[in-house]
Structure 1
Amino acid sequence: MSTRARRAVITTLAVLALPVLIIGASLVYLFGVPDPNASDGGLRSGTPPTEPPYVADTTRVERVADGLRDLPLYVDPLAEGPRTGLDAVAERVADSDIPVYVAVLHMGGEDESDGEPELFAHALHHVLGEDGIYLVVHPSAYDVQMVAVPFGYALDLTDQYEISSPDLVEPTAAEALMEALDTIEDTPGIVPDGSSPEPDPFLFEEPVPARLPEYLSNMLPALLLGSVLCSLVFGVGLLVRMTARAVSRARSDGEKRPTVPAHPGRRRLERIADEETAALNAAVGQAGPDHPRMPQAMAALDAALLVRAEEPDELDLVGVIVLLRGAREQLDRRSVRPRPVCMNHPLHGSTTEKRRKIPGVGNVYLCADCMNLTKAERERRALRVSDGTSVVPHHTLDRVWVRAQYGVRGAPLAEQVLEELGVH
Structure 2
Amino acid sequence: MRAVTTHYARTAGIRATGNSRGRVLGLLLTLCALTALFATATPADAANTEDAADTPTRAAYLADRLRDNPVHVSDQLPREVPRSTAPDFARIAKKTGVPTYVLVLPLQTGADGRQLLGAVHDRLGRDGLYVLFEGPDIAEARAFGVDAPADAAVTVTQYELPYDAGPLLSFERFADVIAQGGEKATARAEAARETHPDDEPAEMYIGPSDRQNQSFITGILLTGVPLSILLPAAYAGRGRPKKPVLRRSVWGAAVLSAAAVTLTATVVFDQTRSSAAEPPTPADLSARVERVAAGLKQDPVYADPESPRVLDARQLDRLHERIRDFRRSDGGGPVYVSLVPQTPESESAGDSGLFAAAVHAKVGGDGVYVVADPADGTIDVYNHGLRLDGNRLSFDVPDSVTLGDSRADEAGDHLLGERLDALMTFLDDTPRTDRPWSEPAPPAAPSATGETSLPPLFSTDFWPGLFVGAFAALLLSSLVAGATWIVRGVRRRRSPVPEPSGSLPLTAPTEPSVSYLRRTAHAELTALTSGFSDPGDRDRAWDHLDAALLLVDGDPGRVRQPGTDASTLVAVIVLARAGRAALAGDPADLCCGINPLHGPAARRHHVRVSAEGNSRRLLPVCGLCGDTAVAEPRGIPGRLLKLPDPSLGNTRFPYYDVTDGPLTAVPQGIARLIDKVRETAGVH
TM-score (ref. length: structure 2): 0.30
Higher relative contact order (CA 8 A, sep 6+): 1
Determine which structure has the larger helix proportion and give its number: 2
> Considering only CA atoms, is the larger Rg found in Structure 1 or Structure 2?
2
